[in-house]
Amino acid sequence: GAHFPIAEMAAVLDQIGGLESAKVIMARTLRKVLRNAFRRGILSDNSLLVVQGDLNSRTVLGPKGQVKDILQEVISDPHIQAAIRNGVPVAEGDWFEPCGETNALKLPVTYKFNSEVGAHFKGTDGSALSLEGILTAAAKREDDGAYAETLQSLPPDVLKSWSLEFKEANFRNFRFPASADRIICWAPSSLARRLQWTFPQGGYK
């Protein structure tokens, strides 16, 4: 599977208001993937490019409790989508996420856990831990960039039951729980209009 770089992303997330810079970093990576696919001759008007793995998307905590997922923000931005394909000799098309989830709070958390599985790693209904679940349990989440403070406000027994890794001494914002492991696709617009996706179990699990 894919593994997108994280060093630049980690640096910009240490700054308040780093969302736009983080989007640019993610967009550069997606452009590189698209360009390399073209150079290898694996793209055509009837090609669907699938990228799966640790795409290192991260959670951004904004003002007034706003929660954003970087990958979602890139995919939903038509100007960034146009910039990604600009200069790459491929048919007009876009990156998209087949699961269709557009609410960052509903995404499953895949980062960052301890090695031992927690007692409540999954809910009683078998659903994955979500960002919504974490932030609902947190006593503090209103301040822009309050990553460490949000995790500090979680009861220790809750953190342990989820097996979330939180090392206060060397914590950095990019280590906040996030939906890092994803599946995305790129397709020409003419092909994307003919695609139909079915998820019997409701998408990510």
Q: What is the pLDDT of residues 1-25, one digit of tens each?
A: 678 999 999 999 998 888 999 999 9
Amino acid at 108: P
Q: What is the pLDDT of residues 51-74, one digit of tens each?
A: 999 999 999 998 878 899 999 999
* Conformational region of residue 69, where left means phi above 0, alpha means psi within -120 to 50, and beta covers everything else: beta
Specify the pTM.
0.91
Residues 32/83, Cβ–Cβ less than 8 Å: no
Q: Read out DSSP for 114-156? A: -SSPPTTSB-TTSPBPBHHHHHHH-S---STT-HHHHHHTS-H
Confidence check: pLDDT of 126 > 80: no
pLDDT (0 to 100) of residue 64: 77
